[in-house]
Chains A and B, each alone.
Chain A
């Protein structure tokens, strides 16, 4: 019972977060600087999603000499040259398995 109250409340709140600017945007008159801020969202947020998954180990320590770092370097190179998501994923996972086996 408690779980369903939580599910309903989180569901409504999360929908409100997701829908917020999608509905409000046309009523807002954003200054150019705010428009530019929105354009920087992908670079800032994607990097914030990637970096901890690459550099932070399960125990919370930060590591540069880790198979995941090497795999990410390989994947970044694949992404740079191919601009292809599937190739990047396959290349990164293959590099991770290979580096783990080699270490």
Chain B
């Protein structure tokens, strides 16, 4: 199983204003045939919560890799064990920083996958969701107290009662996303319990396009679009099954239209056919002139199309050669 891992975080407007560090942290680990992503949102009122969030994400990833089977065997005991381990490490950090343990409070979300099985761990707000059969489905919704500024943290006395561990089978799941409460309101409509079209696109592309390209594009969207919708820090981590991509040549016209982010309802077959030829030709790296000689188009149009395909992350340019970034077959 090959996973693309994308992790992005950005400082919220309110923290930029007060010169407070970004308290959202993400981490990923791949070991023992287990792939894990984790995300923690440090408590706004806790002065060192950015340290606490970082410790929590790293530790939960390590626990999942080392104790996957133990968690599966006894979820109830696993909750206790994981929280005790986290608190022990947070306690050590509090001694180092000369602060109280509650100063390191954060939420914690995590997804770990091994073979056909996944484990999702959720404490506090934020969302865990999955791409299944080309639809985004909720795995675990925010666990908030009644009021908007109240949630549960790693250091909360009620953490053990509030933490959720969900075990499931991968079946048709092609990707997971975990997001903080800075991002969730942009991607999930609480009123009708529907996910945004934008998230479906992000997850589908995370399956198809190389993680490096997606990392750059998603970080830019987080910085320039999603963070503008909130004053809070924003973060998201994605675990996408790159091996599930059927290959470019097996995509339908509609799927290609969506991949190329073409506007309008009708399919522009002429443009899609040209893109097909460009991408197929770039299964192997080629210089511009060589590519041009293979294609029925003028240099200025080819240059424009190559630029767009680069921007979409579908092809790459290393300064000399162009190369497709999606698998062809």
A and B: real partners? no
